[in-house]
Amino acid sequence: MRWLLRAPFRALFRSLLLTSVLAVAVLPACKSGGQKAATTSAPASLASVAIDTGGRKVLFRVEVAVTPEEHARGLMYRSQLADDAGMVFVFEQPSIQRFWMKNTLIPLDMIFIGKDHTIVGVVENAAPETETERMVGAPSQYVLEIGGGLSAKLGIHRGEPVDFQNIPLPSPSL
């Protein structure tokens, strides 16, 4: 008789245990409100540029322009740009880079960076929608565009070191 009473409880216990395990397995796939949670795979790598201003490192999340088509489009047609965002242009060889603001709707600062990852010059507050060439008198292999006026506000100057994260570097020349 004792065995007969235990059998139903054992079945009930197994059923509750299985339900609990399934519930725990399903929980990570949902957020409050029934929203699906993010996947558990590693997040995509984000490109960034850090500038050491001497007193602190300033970090910008960036889009990367590598191809001639990406270089030509740049930040055209954007109506806004977050203070911690920008675009970095990567060139195969260092040279005197020339930029213009045709179809660019917001003022930009252009930070020209040499092959050695040091700032070689800064053009501040380039006026939107103009075709005036902007350049500095030194070869650069990278150009970082950020919101107009940020270089002065953040204390970014020529000679400061720059660090790239998750940005494709040009192939070494032979």
pLDDT digits over 88-143, tens only? 999 999 999 999 999 999 999 999 999 999 999 999 999 999 999 999 999 999 99
Half-sphere exposure of 94 (CA within 13 A, CB side): 15
pTM confidence score: 0.73
Q: What is the token pair recorded at 154?
A: 């953040």
Max CA pair span of the chain: 98
Apex 150 CA angle, 144 and 152, nearest 5: 110
Residue entry with tokens 């040091």: 118
- In sequence order, what E strands does the chain have? 48-52, 57-65, 85-95, 108-113, 119-126, 140-147, 162-165
For the chain, the residue count is 174
Q: Summarize the confidence of residues 22-50 as an average pLDDT.
A: 45
